[in-house]
Homo-oligomer: A and B are copies of this chain.
């Protein structure tokens, strides 16, 4: 029988974004002097550079002033807020959401993901996960004692769509996978699944009776006017087998409030509610008042925000492209970029430590997104534009110092 110590030995946090201070750095042999420059933490977005939606502070205060009815909501969330979000998210994703059965408000998109996985994965269940994909997908599968089945995504050698290996996906479904979890736009590469890929995923899921959780955290931040296909809006999958999750922590910069939402399958939502009741009762009541501003941004605000991110993306992508030995696909949505670096004399974790110590730049090691990404790292480029560009220049310089 697995002891609790064994169970947790797989779950690491020291290489996770934002946890860099926990890392040991004593044994690193550094080459050269430090490079001066404004520190940039690419492990997550900078809400000083991209502040929250205007008016969110005021919404919070209104919530606080409403007192008891806002402080103590039902576990799924406050009724009028659920109604508002069911309406807005239904319109956004192209299929109606029944407020009494199809939606739950959660503490962040991470909270939605945790509840969704807890509500779907029993011990021994096979769970298909994309590689690369968000690092918590793997950890959650392991925590709930599911059996992880990795499906490759050849994002570097694909022009249209993600490059997900659909043959491998079907094989995994045929071999008994119960649940398929993926993010779209993909974290960490920023690629968008093509309409054809989403259609195939939906068709295969129906054919083999597989449940699907799609993490659409960045689905409002799409570049170059590309089209984005909402799986639930296609109408191919039985809505009982599909859950969509999203939240305003990224493009909208509301992470400090911890807000998210999950919608779709009534049976999954019901189990998620039961789990929420013992995890943290509800999304912080006063914070729930801030949902009012989401999908209700001032005229032009989202367009401008997306344009600003697209401009940063272009500059950073150009820097990597111009450098020798890097491979990087242009992100089509979201704020992540996932370069593959030339061969260096450090493993990727030690490289992230050296980079932080020598250039005041924090990035997330590729191995967080799949064990094979030993020569990649992820950056979140939702940063001050100028500082981000300078930090990438320093990053390339540090990499060149350690090249083999």
Contacts and interface: CB of A to CB of B under 8 A. Distances in A.
Interface of A: 1-4, 6-8, 11-13, 16, 18-19, 21-22, 44, 46-48, 51, 57, 60-61, 63-64, 67-68, 70-75, 106-108, 110-111, 114, 119-125, 136, 139-140, 143, 145, 253, 255-258, 271, 273-275, 277-287
Given A70-B256, A258-B282, 13 more contacts: A2-B122, A7-B122, A11-B278, A21-B74, A44-B72, A48-B68, A71-B256, A114-B279, A123-B145, A255-B285, A256-B285, A256-B286, A286-B287
B277 A13 contact: yes
A2 B144 CA distance: 12
**Would you list the 5 A-B pairs with minimal beta carbon distance, nearest first?**
A71-B256, A256-B285, A258-B284, A11-B274, A107-B280
A155 to B, nearest CB: 24
Given A107-B284, A284-B107, A286-B257, A275 B4 contact: no
A108 B72 CA distance: 12
Contacts of A60: 60, 64, 286
A125 to B, nearest CB: 7
B107 A275 contact: no
B110 A279 contact: yes
A46 B106 CA distance: 23
A280 B258 contact: yes
Nearest to A290: B286
A13 B75 CA distance: 9
A40 to B, nearest CB: 12
